Chains A and B, each alone.
Chain A
Amino acid sequence: MEIRTHSELGRSLLTERGMQWLHAHGGDPYARLLRAEEDDPRALAERIRALGPLYRSGTGAWVTGSRALGAEILGDPRLEPRVPEFGLGAVWGQGVAGPEPVSTDVGEPAGAAVLNPRAGDVERLCRAELGRAGSTFDLVSDVVRPVLVSLVSELLAVPPGRRDTFERWCGAASIALDAVLCPPTLPRALALNGAVEGLRDLLAESAGSDDGTIVAGTRACVVGVEVTTNLIANTMLALLEDPEQWRLLGARPGSAEAAVEETLRYDPPVRLDNRVAREALDLAGRTVTAGDEVVVHIGAANRDAATLRSPDRFDLRRETTGGHLSLLGGTPLGSVAPMARNSAAAVLRVLAACLPGLRRTGPVVRRLRAPVTRGIVRFPVGV
Chain B
Amino acid sequence: MRVLMTSLAVEAHFNGAVPLAWALRAAGHEVRVASQPALTGTITRAGLTAVPVGTDHVHHDLVRHLGAELTGFYRDIDFTGERGDDYLSLKGANTLLTATFYAQANNDAMVDELVDYARYWQPDLVIWEPFTFAGAVAARASGAAHARLLWGPDLFLRMRQAFRRHMELLPEELHDDTLEEWLTWTLDRFGCDFDEETVVGQWNIDQMPEGIRLPLGRPTVPMRYVPYNGRSVIPDWLREPPRRPRICLTLGITSRDMAYPNLVSLDELFEAVAELDVEIVATLTEAQRAEVARVPDNTRVTDFVPLHALLPSCSAAVHHGGAGTWSTAAVYGVPQLVIADMWDNVYRARRLADLGAGLFLPPDELTVAGLRDGLEQLLTKPSFHEDAQRLREAMVAEPSPAGVVPALEELTRQQRN
Partners in one complex: yes
Stretch among A14-22, A121-129, A345-353 lining the B interface: A14-22
Flag whether B84 is at the interface (Cβ < 8 A).
Answer: no
Are the CB atoms of A25 and B185 closer together than 8 Å?
no
Are the CB atoms of B173 and A6 closer together than 8 Å?
no
Are the CB atoms of B173 and A186 closer together than 8 Å?
no
Contact A10 B69, CB 8 Å, known A17-B99, A18-B100: no
Contact A7 B66, CB 8 Å, known A14-B181, A15-B99, A18-B100: no
Taking a contact as CB atoms closer than 8 A, the residue among A6, A7, A17 that contacts B178 in the complex is A17
Flag whether B354 is at the interface (Cβ < 8 A).
Answer: no
Stretch among B16-24, B90-98, B157-165, B247-255 lining the A interface: B90-98
Cβ-closest chain A residue relative to B108: A7
Interface residues of B in 316-372 (CB under 8 A from A): none
Among B76, B99, B108, B176, residue most surrounded by chain A Cβ atoms (within 10 Å):
B99
Contact A14 B98, CB 8 Å, known A7-B185, A8-B108, A25-B92: yes
Contact A14 B76, CB 8 Å, known A22-B70, A38-B88: no
Flag whether B283 is at the interface (Cβ < 8 A).
Answer: no
Flag whether B39 is at the interface (Cβ < 8 A).
Answer: no
Are the CB atoms of A21 and B96 closer together than 8 Å?
yes
Q: Mark B238-254, 1 if CB is under 8 A from A, else 0.
A: 00000000000000000
Flag whether A104 is at the interface (Cβ < 8 A).
Answer: no
Which residues of the partner chain B approach A307 to less than 8 Å between Cβ atoms? none
Flag whether B186 is at the interface (Cβ < 8 A).
Answer: yes
Which residues of the partner chain B approach A8 to less than 8 Å between Cβ atoms? 108
Which residues of the partner chain A approach B91 to less than 8 Å between Cβ atoms? 37
CB distance from A367 to the nearest CB of B (A): 7
Considering the chains assembled together, what is the distance between the CA atoms of A368 and B173 in angstroms?
A: 7
Flag whether A185 is at the interface (Cβ < 8 A).
Answer: yes
Which residues of the partner chain A approach B95 to less than 8 Å between Cβ atoms? 17-18, 21
Are the CB atoms of A185 and B100 closer together than 8 Å?
no
Considering the chains assembled together, what is the distance between the CA atoms of A93 and B108 in angstroms?
A: 36
CB distance from A4 to the nearest CB of B (A): 11
Interface size class of B (residues with CB under 8 A): 20 to 34
Are the CB atoms of B178 and A14 closer together than 8 Å?
yes
> Which label, helix, strand, loop or mixed, suits the secondary structure of the B interface?
helix
Flag whether A360 is at the interface (Cβ < 8 A).
Answer: no
Are the CB atoms of B171 and A378 closer together than 8 Å?
yes
Are the CB atoms of B66 and A22 closer together than 8 Å?
yes
Are the CB atoms of B69 and A26 closer together than 8 Å?
yes
Considering the chains assembled together, what is the distance between the CA atoms of A152 and B56 in angstroms?
A: 51
Flag whether A365 is at the interface (Cβ < 8 A).
Answer: yes
Among A8, A37, A185, residue most surrounded by chain B Cβ atoms (within 10 Å):
A185
Which residues of the partner chain A approach B174 to less than 8 Å between Cβ atoms? 365, 368
Taking a contact as CB atoms closer than 8 A, the residue among B171, B176, B181, B185 that contacts A365 in the complex is B171
Considering the chains assembled together, what is the distance between the CA atoms of A195 and B72 in angstroms?
A: 40
Considering the chains assembled together, what is the distance between the CA atoms of A38 and B88 in angstroms?
A: 8
Considering the chains assembled together, what is the distance between the CA atoms of A348 and B139 in angstroms?
A: 56
Considering the chains assembled together, what is the distance between the CA atoms of A380 and B186 in angstroms?
A: 37
Cβ-closest chain A residue relative to B98: A14
Contact A185 B181, CB 8 Å, known A21-B96, A365-B174: yes
Considering the chains assembled together, what is the distance between the CA atoms of A365 and B173 in angstroms?
A: 8
Flag whether B272 is at the interface (Cβ < 8 A).
Answer: no
Are the CB atoms of B92 and A21 closer together than 8 Å?
yes
Are the CB atoms of A18 and B96 closer together than 8 Å?
yes
Considering the chains assembled together, what is the distance between the CA atoms of A7 and B189 in angstroms?
A: 8
Are the CB atoms of B99 and A378 closer together than 8 Å?
no
CB distance from B106 to the nearest CB of A (A): 11
Among A14, A15, A185, A187, residue most surrounded by chain B Cβ atoms (within 10 Å):
A14
Considering the chains assembled together, what is the distance between the CA atoms of A292 and B91 in angstroms?
A: 30
CB distance from B211 to the nearest CB of A (A): 34
Flag whether B182 is at the interface (Cβ < 8 A).
Answer: yes
Which residues of the partner chain B approach A19 to less than 8 Å between Cβ atoms? 99
Flag whether B121 is at the interface (Cβ < 8 A).
Answer: no
CB distance from B49 to the nearest CB of A (A): 29
Flag whether B282 is at the interface (Cβ < 8 A).
Answer: no
Q: Mark B100-112, 1 if CB is under 8 A from A, else 0.
A: 1001000010000
Cβ-closest chain B residue relative to A14: B99
Flag whether A377 is at the interface (Cβ < 8 A).
Answer: yes
Which residues of the partner chain A approach B171 to less than 8 Å between Cβ atoms? 365, 378
Taking a contact as CB atoms closer than 8 A, the residue among A6, A23, A367 that contacts B185 in the complex is A6
Are the CB atoms of B108 and A367 closer together than 8 Å?
no
Are the CB atoms of B72 and A18 closer together than 8 Å?
no
CB distance from B63 to the nearest CB of A (A): 12
Are the CB atoms of A378 and B181 closer together than 8 Å?
no
Interface residues of A in 325-383 (CB under 8 A from B): 365, 367-369, 377-378
Which residues of the partner chain B approach A10 to less than 8 Å between Cβ atoms? 181-182, 185
Which residues of the partner chain B approach A247 to less than 8 Å between Cβ atoms? none
Flag whether A42 is at the interface (Cβ < 8 A).
Answer: no
Flag whether A309 is at the interface (Cβ < 8 A).
Answer: no
Considering the chains assembled together, what is the distance between the CA atoms of A298 and B367 in angstroms?
A: 50
Considering the chains assembled together, what is the distance between the CA atoms of A145 and B197 in angstroms?
A: 38
Which residues of the partner chain A approach B189 to less than 8 Å between Cβ atoms? 7
CB distance from A44 to the nearest CB of B (A): 15
Which residues of the partner chain A approach B88 to less than 8 Å between Cβ atoms? 37-38
Flag whether A11 is at the interface (Cβ < 8 A).
Answer: yes
Cβ-closest chain A residue relative to B70: A22
Which residues of the partner chain B approach A6 to less than 8 Å between Cβ atoms? 185, 188
Taking a contact as CB atoms closer than 8 A, the residue among A22, A25, A378 that contacts B173 in the complex is A378
Considering the chains assembled together, what is the distance between the CA atoms of A7 and B103 in angstroms?
A: 11
CB distance from B94 to the nearest CB of A (A): 10
CB distance from B76 to the nearest CB of A (A): 7
Cβ-closest chain A residue relative to B73: A25
Taking a contact as CB atoms closer than 8 A, the residue among B72, B178, B181, B186 that contacts A25 in the complex is B72
CB distance from A10 to the nearest CB of B (A): 5
Are the CB atoms of B69 and A367 closer together than 8 Å?
no
Are the CB atoms of A377 and B173 closer together than 8 Å?
yes
Interface residues of B in 48-105 (CB under 8 A from A): 66, 69-70, 72-73, 76, 88, 91-92, 95-96, 98-100, 103
Cβ-closest chain A residue relative to B176: A368
Are the CB atoms of A14 and B182 closer together than 8 Å?
yes
Cβ-closest chain B residue relative to A363: B171
Are the CB atoms of B99 and A18 closer together than 8 Å?
yes
Cβ-closest chain A residue relative to B66: A22
Are the CB atoms of A25 and B99 closer together than 8 Å?
no
Q: Could you list 18 further interchain pairs (A-B, Cβ under 8 angstroms) beyond the known A7-B185, A185-B176?
A: A14-B98, A14-B103, A14-B181, A14-B182, A15-B99, A17-B99, A18-B95, A18-B98, A21-B73, A21-B95, A23-B69, A25-B69, A25-B96, A368-B174, A368-B176, A377-B173, A378-B171, A378-B173
Task: Give 19 CB contacts A-B under 8 Å.
Answer: A7-B185, A7-B186, A10-B182, A14-B98, A15-B103, A18-B178, A19-B99, A21-B73, A22-B69, A23-B69, A25-B69, A25-B72, A25-B73, A186-B181, A186-B185, A187-B181, A368-B173, A369-B176, A378-B171
- Name the 6 nearest CB pairs between A and B, nearest first: A18-B99, A10-B185, A25-B73, A21-B96, A21-B95, A14-B99
